[in-house]
Amino acid sequence: MENRVEFKVTGRFALFTDPLTKIGGEKCSYHIPTYEALKGIAKSVYWKPTFIWVIDKVRIMRRIRTQSKSVKPLGYSGGNTLAIYTYLADVEYQVQAHFEWNPFREDMRQDRIDGKHFGVAQRMIGKGGRQDIFLGSRECQGYVEPCSFGKEKGFYDGSDELAYGLMFHGFDYPDETGKNELHSRFWRPVMKGGFVTFPRPDECTIQKFVRGMTPNPPKSVGLNEEGLEP
């Protein structure tokens, strides 16, 4: 089954929030995108409940720069408060990802058609995605286009390893794990030559239980959806 895609995503700003910085009401971005943020971008490009996106690698193409902005977020007790958000500025990433059939959606088994979803995903990448692209936060608009992963010149080509310490990886949702629980995952990324290789979600050994959650996945009519019946 051909299921691997490659695309480039760019934007003026990005905010991949470090959870530790949210405690005081302000936000500061990680220096590299999180697995969950890139998965969200892939789902905005094209997604069906038939499959699950898995992010393989990301390549940092431009120099990592930050920019702080004064914002007025809504306060918990109402009204607005003052805060400083630290964004990444002028970002560009190459992403390599693939999709796998969701074993917990047996009702979508008839939609597991080789080539169909890969072809649609490739067309949607060429069109810039089916939904709006956001780089970690809604105010950070992104733009997607096709690319050849590993090609073109990157700012960190040939650089040594750079370790980032403990970092948020993503969430384990019940409709993807078969458990009525929500867990958060963490890992310790290393960037080498601008490349970051992500472990699979089931390979992350650092997990934290968040809360119980009952899956309520969207229902689909399969091949009849959106006029896809041959």
In this prediction, residue 230 has a pLDDT band, given cuts at 50, 70 and 90, of very low
Question: Does the pLDDT of residue 138 top 60, yes or no?
Answer: yes
In a domain, 185, yes or no: no
In a domain, 14, yes or no: yes
Q: How many other β-carbons are positioned within 10 Å of the β-carbon of residue 11?
A: 21
CATH code at 128?
3.30.70.2660
pLDDT of amino acid 203: 96
Question: Does the pLDDT of residue 161 top 80, yes or no?
Answer: yes
Distance CA 223, CA 230 (A): 8
- State how many domains the chain has: 1
Q: How many other β-carbons are positioned within 10 Å of the β-carbon of residue 185?
A: 20
Q: How many other β-carbons are positioned within 10 Å of the β-carbon of residue 129?
A: 21
In this prediction, residue 149 has a pLDDT band, given cuts at 50, 70 and 90, of very high
Tell me the sheet residues that pair with 222: none
In a domain, 87, yes or no: yes
Average pLDDT, integer, range 201-224: 80
Task: Indicate the angle between helix axes 116-126 and 35-45, nearest 10 degrees.
Answer: 90
pLDDT of amino acid 75: 72
Mean pLDDT of the chain: 91
pLDDT of amino acid 190: 97
In a domain, 36, yes or no: yes
Which are the contacts of 217, defined by CB distance < 8 A and separation ≥ 6? 49, 105, 175
Q: Is the dihedral of CA 166, 171, 177, 183 positive or negative?
A: positive
Range with the poorest average pLDDT among 26-35, 156-165, 193-202, 219-228: 219-228
Average pLDDT, integer, range 143-150: 96
170: tokens are 């993503």
Range with the poorest average pLDDT among 23-27, 66-70, 134-138: 23-27
In this prediction, residue 223 has a pLDDT band, given cuts at 50, 70 and 90, of very low
pLDDT of amino acid 93: 98
Distance CA 56, CA 120 (A): 20
Whether residue 218 contacts residue 212, with contact meaning beta carbons closer than 8 Å, is answered with no
pLDDT of amino acid 222: 52
In a domain, 213, yes or no: no
pLDDT of amino acid 74: 74
In a domain, 88, yes or no: yes
* Comparison of pLDDT for 96 and 83, the residue scoring more: 96
Question: Domain range holding 120?
Answer: 4-75+83-159
Distance CA 69, CA 15 (A): 12
Range with the poorest average pLDDT among 127-131, 202-206, 212-216: 212-216
Question: Does the pLDDT of residue 36 top 90, yes or no?
Answer: yes
pLDDT of amino acid 1: 66
Residue with tokens 């993807």: 176
Question: Does the pLDDT of residue 228 top 50, yes or no?
Answer: no
In a domain, 67, yes or no: yes
Average pLDDT, integer, range 73-88: 82
In a domain, 176, yes or no: no
* Comparison of pLDDT for 16 and 227, the residue scoring more: 16
